[in-house]
């Protein structure tokens, strides 16, 4: 599989189809794979693929530093490929501006990442070239996909509040969660604005609640569950629970799943006349 990946990468660079390959490279130890940006055909041997390739490389599609390198081919797993669908739908990139090297994947991480437990995109749903043996994407029922949330949803109001306050109290406002997020692409984030100051910039419980709720909310109907925010959080806040909760509500109310179908209207950019309004007086 690695050989096929390298061969294709070399071919793409030699034919000038793309200027750069965003891929996974080996790190100082086997479990420390890291992103590599390959611009020369002779460097393709740096590319690798293994179960430690947890990262979502599509985050580099928003970075100026990597965009400067020219048209990319990007190595994506099934989950990461969903990001590209959302980015295209949100007019951040054009389909023809990115070459998608999809890799089939049976789960990553050691121990296996939470996102892989209810995976229904072992084979990417969008790609230009598929590397590896095609794996059947089997449907997973709604309840199973959001099973992780159950134990938190059944807590009492006070327990929920205490749980999240304890979590948010750890937040140091480093904004790693939004820096890594491939879908947090605003040039000027709401936290950078100080007239008015919507979100208290200090790592104070009040601002921490506002920040974490706002960050999650801005991903409503957009988050594709790559769990990168949670992975990079130095304070180990289970941020993806919030994202997942929003994804669940979006799917429940609007039958929409971000990144699954390129023809679907973006959930939060459209409406239906018969949307749920039980809670309206």
Partner 1 sequence: MSEKTKFEPRIVAFLCNWCTYAGADLAGTGRKQYQANVRVIKLPCTGGIDPLFLIKAFERGADGILVSGCHPGDCHYNSGNYHARRRWNVFRPLLEFCGINPERIQFSWISAAEGGKWVETINGVVNAVRALGPFEGYKKINAIGPDAPSESFVTN
In DSSP terms, 129 is beta-bridged to: 101
Q: Is the dihedral of CA 99, 131, 1, 62 positive or negative?
A: positive
Nearest 5°: phi and psi at 38? -105, 120
- Rounded distance, CA 235 to CA 171, Å? 6
**52 in Cβ contact with 28 (< 8 Å):** no
Q: Considering beta carbons, is residue 92 or 214 the nearer one to partner 1?
A: 214
- Rounded distance, CA 6 to CA 16, Å? 15
**215 in Cβ contact with 119 (< 8 Å):** no
Question: Least distance to partner 1 from the beta carbon of 178, Å?
Answer: 15
Q: Considering beta carbons, is residue 136 or 274 the nearer one to partner 1?
A: 274
Q: Considering beta carbons, is residue 26 or 249 the nearer one to partner 1?
A: 249
Question: Least distance to partner 1 from the beta carbon of 188, Å?
Answer: 15
Question: Least distance to partner 1 from the beta carbon of 160, Å?
Answer: 3
Tokens 């979100």 sit on residue: 199
Question: Least distance to partner 1 from the beta carbon of 273, Å?
Answer: 7
- Rounded distance, CA 43 to CA 225, Å? 32
Question: Least distance to partner 1 from the beta carbon of 105, Å?
Answer: 29
Q: Considering beta carbons, is residue 65 or 274 the nearer one to partner 1?
A: 274
**176 in Cβ contact with 232 (< 8 Å):** yes
Q: Considering beta carbons, is residue 165 or 261 the nearer one to partner 1?
A: 165
Q: Considering beta carbons, is residue 140 or 269 the nearer one to partner 1?
A: 269
Question: Least distance to partner 1 from the beta carbon of 202, Å?
Answer: 8
Question: Least distance to partner 1 from the beta carbon of 150, Å?
Answer: 12
154, 222, 83, 140 alpha-carbon torsion, rounded to 10°: 40
Q: How open is the CA angle 188-196-161, to the nearest 5 degrees? A: 90
Question: Least distance to partner 1 from the beta carbon of 166, Å?
Answer: 11
Task: Give the residue among 245, 225, 190 at the shortest CA–CA distance from 86.
Answer: 225
DSSP 8-state assignment for residue 197: B
- Which positions touch partner 1 (CB under 8 A)? 152-153, 157-165, 190, 198-200, 202, 204-206, 209-210, 213-214, 216-217, 220-221, 241-242, 245-246, 249-250, 253-254, 267-268, 270-273, 275-277, 279-281
Q: Considering beta carbons, is residue 134 or 217 the nearer one to partner 1?
A: 217
215, containing H or E segment: helix 205-217
Q: Considering beta carbons, is residue 142 or 161 the nearer one to partner 1?
A: 161
**How do 34-38 and 47-48 pair as beta strands?**
unpaired
């Amino acid at each position: 599989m690695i050989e096929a990946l390298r061969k294709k990468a070399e071919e793409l660079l030699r034919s000038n189809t793309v200027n750069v390959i965003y891929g996974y490279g080996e790190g100082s130890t086997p479990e420390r794979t890291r992103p590599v940006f390959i611009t020369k055909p002779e460097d393709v041997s740096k590319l690798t693929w293994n179960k430690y390739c947890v990262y979502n490389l599509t985050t580099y599609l928003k970075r100026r530093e990597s965009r400067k390198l020219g048209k990319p081919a990007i190595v994506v797993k099934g989950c990461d490929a969903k990001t590209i669908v959302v980015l295209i739908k949100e007019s951040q990139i054009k389909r023809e501006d990115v070459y998608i090297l999809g890799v089939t994947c049976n789960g990553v991480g050691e121990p296996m990442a939470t996102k892989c437990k209810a995976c229904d995109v072992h084979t990417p749903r969008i790609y230009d070239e598929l590397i590896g043996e095609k794996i059947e994407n089997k449907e997973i029922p709604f309840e199973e996909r959001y099973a992780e949330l159950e134990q938190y949803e059944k807590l009492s109001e006070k327990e929920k509040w205490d749980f999240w306050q304890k979590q948010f109290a750890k937040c140091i406002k480093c904004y790693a969660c939004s820096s890594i997020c491939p879908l947090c692409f605003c040039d000027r984030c709401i936290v950078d604005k100080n007239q008015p100051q919507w979100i208290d910039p200090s790592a104070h419980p009040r601002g921490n609640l506002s920040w974490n709720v706002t960050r999650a909310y801005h991903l409503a109907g957009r988050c594709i569950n790559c769990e990168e925010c949670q992975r990079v959080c130095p304070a180990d806040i289970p941020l993806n629970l919030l994202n997942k909760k929003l994804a669940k509500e979006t799917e429940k109310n609007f039958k929409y799943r971000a990144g699954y179908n390129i023809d679907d209207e973006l959930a939060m950019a459209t409406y239906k006349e018969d949307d749920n309004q039980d809670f309206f007086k």
